[in-house]
Amino acid sequence: MKALVWEAPRVMALREQKRPSVTADEVLIQVAYAGICGSELSGYLGHNALRVPPLVMGHEFSGTLAEIGNDARAEFPHLSIGQAVTVNPLWYDGTCEFCLRGDTQLCASRKLIGAHRPGAYAEFVNVPAKMVVPLPAGMSLRTGALTEPVACGVRIGELAGAVNDDDALVVGAGPIGLLALQALKAKGAARVFISDLDAERLAMGAALGGIALNPRETDVTQTVREKTNGRGVAVAVDCVGSAVTRKTCVQSTRSGGTLILSGLHQETSEMPAAEIIRREIVVRGSFSYNRENFAEALRRLQNEEVHLDPWIVEAPLEEGGKWFDRLIDAPGNVAKVLLVP
C-alpha cells in the first residue's frame, strides 16, 4: 500500500509499505479521508516529543471496514465489512481511575494512533475495534473525518463552563480556534473575539460570527478591554500555544475568569504567573476529549450545527508534504486539509 512517511523535520515521503494485518481484537480500515492536525504540524517540524520519525501520522480520519478480527467480530457484532466509520484515535485502558470516572483522555496508559502506532496517512490502517465509531446513516465519509477535531472544540466549550451572555476570546483562527469559536457561540456567548496574524484566517473567523482582531494592526488585549469596559473576557482560549499568545490570553481575561490552554506550539513557555495569582484566574488545560465529547461531536456534525466549509481542501496523499509546508508557512483561507489516499 501507499503510505506518507514523516522521515525527519520537514521531510515527508510517499513510500510503499506492507498492508497491515489485524490481530484478533483489531479491524482494518480502508482510509477515505485523513485530516492534517496542528499537533502534526509541530511534529513535522520536530517540535513535538510525542512523535518520533520515521512515522506514518494521521489521527483524524474516516474510512470503510475492510477486515474484522475474530474476537472483534464477536465482541462488536454491530461492525460489518464495508461499513462507514470514523475512529476515536486515543486508546485508553478503561480500568484506571480516570477512565472509570469518564476522563478517558487522561488515561495514564493512553496511546494515540498516528503517534504511538502508525496512523491514517496511508491506504489502510489497523486499529483496536473498541475505538471504531460507525457513522450515522447518510453521513458522508468526508464529514465523518471531521469528528475528531470537532470533539476538541466540544471539549473546550465544556471546560469553558457557563458563558451565556458573557464575552470570550479565542486566540488562533486555525481549525481548533474556529471550532472553539463555534462551541462558545453555541453555549450562548454574547461576543467572541478571535485573533490571528493571518488576515484570510481572520476572515473565516468573522464569517463564523467572531469579532476579528489582527495583532499586526491592533493591541488585542487593549482592544478587548476597551470593548468590555475594562473588565476583560470571561473566558479566553489559546489555540496556538506560544509565550506571546498565552500572555495575551492572561492579560485579556477578567479577574476570576477562565483561561483554557489548548495550543501546543511550544511545550514550555513563560507565563505571567503573578497576574494569574493576583487576579485569581482559573487556568485549565484542554487535551483532546472524552468519549462523550466524541459522541457529541458526531451528533453536531449530523445535525449540521458545526462546520468548516467552505474552507476544506481535499488533496491526494502524495501531496501531503506540500500541504504540511503550506499550512506552516502561509495557510491562508484553508481551515482543514483532508488527504485522500
pLDDT band for 264, please (50, 70, 90 cuts): confident
The whole-angstrom separation of Cα 40 and Cα 217 is 29
Percent of the chain at pLDDT above 90? 95
Q: What is the pLDDT of residues 268-296, one digit of tens each?
A: 899 999 999 999 999 999 999 999 999 99
Q: Using one digit for the tens of pLDDT, what is the confidence trace for 191-248?
A: 999 999 999 999 999 999 999 999 999 999 999 999 999 999 999 999 999 999 999 9
Is residue 48 over pLDDT 80?
no
How confident is the model at residue 222, as a pLDDT?
98
pLDDT at 50: 83
Q: Which residue has the cell 466549509?
A: 309
Percentage of the residues of the chain whose pLDDT score is greater than 70: 100
The helix (H) or strand (E) run that includes residue 299 is: helix 291-302
- Give the range among 9-23, 77-91, 262-276 with minimum mean pLDDT: 262-276
pTM: 0.95
Type of residue found at 184: L
Q: What confidence tier does 42 reach under pLDDT thresholds 50, 70, 90?
A: confident
pLDDT (average), residues 67-82: 97
Per-residue confidence (pLDDT) for residue 265, from 0 to 100: 81
**Which residues, in sequence order, are CB contacts of 87 under 8 Å at separation 6+?**
29, 61, 62, 113, 120, 127, 131, 132, 133, 148
Q: Which among 325, 331, 307, 37 is positioned nearest to 197, based on CA atoms? A: 331
Q: How far apart are CA 208 and CA 15, in angstroms?
A: 39
C-alpha cell at 205: 473567523
User: How many of the other CB atoms lie within 10 Å of CB of 256?
Assistant: 11
In order of start, what are the domains of the chain with their CATH numbers?
2-146+308-340 (3.90.180.10), 153-285 (3.40.50.720)
For residue 3, give the C-alpha cell: 503510505
The helix (run of H) or strand (run of E) holding residue 3 is strand 2-8
- Residue with grid cell 493591541, as numbered in its chain: 219
Mean pLDDT taken over the chain? 96
Give me the mean pLDDT over the 155-180 stretch. Answer: 96
In tens, the pLDDT along 109-138 reads 999 999 999 999 999 999 999 999 999 999
Q: What pLDDT, on a 0 to 100 scale, did the predictor assign at position 47?
A: 82
Q: What is the DSSP letter of 92?
A: -
Which cell numbers hold the place of 23? 490481530
Average pLDDT over residues 299-306: 96
Cβ-defined contacts of 291-296 (< 8 Å, 24+): 291/88, 291/102, 291/104, 292/102, 293/151, 293/154, 293/155, 293/158, 294/88, 294/133, 294/147, 294/148, 294/151, 295/133, 296/151, 296/154
Residue 156 has pLDDT above 80, yes or no: yes
- Residue 69 and residue 58: Cα distance in Å, rounded? 22
